[in-house]
Amino acid sequence: MTEEELKGKIAIVTGGGAGIGRAISIALAGAGAHVVIPDLNLYDANGTAEIISKTGGEALPLEADISDPACVDLVFDKAKERYGCVDILINNAGTTHPAVSILDLDLSFVESIFAVDYKGLYLCCRRAVKEMSLAKGGSIVNISSIAGLTPLPLVMYGPMKSAVNMLTRILAREWAHCNIRVNAIAPGYVLTPLMEGMINRGLRDPSLIIERTPMKAMLLPEDIAEASLFLVSPKASHITGTILTVDGGWTSDGGWTAYPR
């Protein structure tokens, strides 16, 4: 993508301070967009903004809890005050929980994952379509997960990502007449700082992940950034309601490995 393709566009990337969100923010800025970076951790958001500014880009870091409706409104208000109405929303902020039985998952995880992974995303979508409908156009990309497509031992995270996928399709249909496109990306296992932390604590085994992945590699945050850039670009002008799986073939495996060859 050239720097001109998104020149002057206003983008909000929730959870843009680290990992996938940071990679997406940097990529959008590199394509010419002005990027607003709301994150629970202002230090991380500032770090992303600093990287962008060093390459001549424009970014606004904000401390924000997207599960709070007033905070979501404040993010969009500040974005509008600085740059104008939002053209692009990347709903990336999210959290997860240990891979345990439903009998063992603490209810605090249930509440936090609903609050961030679904409620926060929902609130951001609601405010975005309000602005985009007046402007008669815009693009929303929701960062989902393969956990929303195939059963993994994540009894709250997986169902919330399935809900994100359905919300994506519903909003795509509801707002197509306003030229608002709504898509989702379902990443596989991405080597983010969060994933690295889980690996270091013995909560994930990278060798098992790589062995199970047909393309024999974990994804990088930049892989999801490139997919996001495509979906918000003019090249995807007729793509809406799609769940784009970026997983190295993980969900294509099915029962393939059960048949010795």
Query: Which region, left, alpha or beta, applies to residue 254 given φ > 0 means left and ψ of -120 to 50 means alpha?
Result: left
Residue 157 known to be catalytic:
yes
Residue 24 has a CB neighbour count (10 Å cut-off) of 32
Residue with tokens 């970076």: 37
Catalytic residue among 83, 118, 157, 189: 157
Question: Alpha-carbon Rg of the chain, whole angstroms?
Answer: 18
Report how far residue 118's alpha carbon sits from residue 131's, in angstroms, rounded to the nearest whole number: 20
Nearest-CA neighbor of 164 among 228, 108, 113, 227?
Answer: 113
Residues in contact with 213: Cβ distance below 8 Å, sequence separation at least 6, in sequence order: 188, 189, 247, 248, 249, 250
* Catalytic positions, written as ranges: 157
